[in-house]
Amino acid sequence: MKKIRPGDSNQITREYFDSLLVEMRHLDGALPETGLELFGEQFRTPVMTAALSHLGNVRENGMVQMAEGARLAGAVSWAGMGDEKELEDITTTGARTIKIIKPYVDNDYILQRIAHAEKCGVMAVGMDIDHAFSGKGKYDVVLGMEMRPKSLEEMKEFVKATKLPFVVKGVLSVKDAEKCLEAGVKGIVVSHHHGIIDYAVPPLMILPEIVRVVQKQIPVFVDCGIESGSDVFKALALGADAVCVGRALMGPLQVNGAEGVQEKIASLTEELAGIMARTGASDLSQIDPSVIWKA
């Protein structure tokens, strides 16, 4: 039996997911449509890949295979830390990709990565703000590269540096959501980066407050611990526009490559559609937060 570590944010997040219950609504029901519009483009599902990195240890060319699986599933592909050649290979698959860049200490390097992502034809770029510090209260170092927290003014400059939508990942507070709006970002990811801090508030717990502040000005995405169509539905019902799925795709990627990723995204989407049908939601916009009950 797996021992649960006190303060394990991933376990806390899982328990919160499982504490949310769903009521049924059948009268006047209709077959559901799971299509998503994002940044002016159409996708078949609100289930997106997470901004993963370094999947070569899962499968050869893992990041490229993950992107190809997303393309086959009609889903958005996200890409995390990786070299320029990898991003070029990812976008060559035709996957519509959002590139997330670490908060490197060197802002000129960040601007170079933004420019390269634009050249590759990504649909959006952004920053992973929750990797600024280590767990020991020092500046983080990732694969030998130093990180730094970014100020509101720096974030404004990054937003201005690109014509693409700029997305901030790692928002887990109303305060950061408000600053993102002030900076002019075009999307945020509510996430605790798979438990980067102990006792982190579950993303779905704080999501309604962030959605209330954002007021549909920009899309809000949710990351961390999404394993099923039920999880997807609960996130959407509480105000998310789409979700990012990471670890639940790694097994299928390892076993069956891009096809495995495609099949898993399709399965999650089918599960989502099943719950939509039984809660009176004919499309994503009709998912009603009042169907969610807290146990």
Q: Catalytic amino acids?
A: 193
From the list 221, 224, 227, the residue with the least C-alpha distance to 268 is 227
For the chain, the first-to-last Cα distance in angstroms comes to 25
Number of neighbouring beta carbons within 10 Å of residue 59: 21
Taking the C-alpha atoms of residue 82 and residue 66, their distance in angstroms, rounded to an integer, is: 14
What 8-state DSSP symbol labels residue 147?
Answer: B
Tokens, residue 105: 């200490």
Beta carbons of 189 and 10 less than 8 angstroms apart:
no
Beta carbons of 11 and 205 less than 8 angstroms apart:
no
Beta carbons of 102 and 131 less than 8 angstroms apart:
yes
Beta carbons of 97 and 86 less than 8 angstroms apart:
no
Q: Apex CA 75: angle with CA 72 and CA 79, to 5°? A: 100
> Residue 175: phi, psi to the nearest 5?
-60, -45
Q: Are strands 41-43 and 220-222 parallel, antiparallel or unpaired?
A: unpaired
